[in-house]
């Protein structure tokens, strides 16, 4: 990743498109979480070993943390979307000619979340293959 000395500017449509894509991705991840939880409940019913349950507790905590992180990201996306929508409403003619500051820090957070979710899924699948 390169460090930019000047903030990148992008068109409002690009920001909006990226917001929509991120929202769909995050909502999909959120829809997956109950399936992971259900699998953990299956493991909990089968095993009473402390080591198995310790790992299970780890995954329950991770799912909780990820849910909160994704809720926070969705909230921040919504705030940014409201901000650019407000600008578009206040400047309907100029909005097509104005470039906005890119939302790089938010993109970085989304990318980090995507990476963490991938790693969590891989770790989770290894755990399940070991105990199911």
- For 59-81, the pLDDT digits (tens) are 999 999 999 999 999 999 999 99
- What single-letter DSSP state applies at residue 92? T
63, 70 contact by CB (below 8 A): no
pTM higher than the cut 0.95: no
Q: For 25-57, how does the pLDDT look when each residue is reduced to its tens digit (9 = 90+)?
A: 999 999 999 999 999 999 999 999 999 999 999
Cβ neighbours for 114, distance < 8 A, ≥ 6 positions apart? 25
């Amino acid at each position: 990743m390169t460090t930019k000395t000047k903030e990148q500017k992008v068109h409002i449509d690009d920001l909006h498109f990226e917001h929509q894509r991120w929202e769909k991705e995050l909502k999909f991840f959120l829809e997956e979480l109950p399936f992971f939880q259900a699998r953990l409940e299956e493991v909990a019913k089968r095993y009473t070993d402390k080591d198995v349950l310790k790992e299970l507790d780890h995954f329950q905590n991770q799912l909780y943390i990820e849910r909160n992180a994704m809720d926070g990201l969705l909230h921040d996306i919504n705030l940014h979307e409201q901000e650019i929508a407000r600008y578009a409403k206040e400047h309907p003619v100029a909005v097509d000619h104005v470039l906005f500051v890119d939302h790089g820090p938010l993109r970085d957070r989304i990318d980090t979340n995507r990476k963490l979710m991938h790693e969590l899924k891989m770790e989770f699948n290894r755990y399940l293959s070991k105990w199911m």
